[in-house]
Amino acid sequence: MLLLLVVLGYLYIGPARTLLGDLHQASARHAQVVELERQAAGLRAEQRALSAQGTIEREARALGLVRPGEREYVVRGLPNN
């Protein structure tokens, strides 16, 4: 009887280790999904901000671009406040 219990215990060790490994892998995948969802939300917010009225013009002016017909002026020698 004891030998039968030892054999049955041995037969359960393999599947139990596989189950624990699968649970660990599922937990890691869940954490990865949560991180990707957070990144996607950030990218959607950035897309909304970049699609807003005036964002393109503001970014272009920051790069030093001007509209056709405008003149660019550079002011130098301003006092430090």
User: Which conformational region is residue 35 in: left (phi greater than 0), alpha (psi within -120 to 50 degrees), or beta?
Assistant: alpha
User: What are the sequence ranges of the domains in the chain?
Assistant: 28-59
Token pair recorded at residue 43: 């990218």
Return the pLDDT at 7.
82
Q: Give the Cα separation of 58 and 64 in Å (integer).
A: 10
- Predicted pLDDT of residue 59: 87
User: Does residue 50 carry a pLDDT above 80?
Assistant: yes
Question: Quick one: average pLDDT of 37-49?
Answer: 95
Confidence class for position 37, pLDDT limits 50, 70, 90: very high
Side-chain half-sphere CA neighbours of 16 within 13 A: 6
Rounded Cα gap, residues 32 and 38, in angstroms: 10
What's the average model confidence in pLDDT over 61-78? 87
Q: What is the pLDDT of residues 21-34, one digit of tens each?
A: 999 999 999 999 99
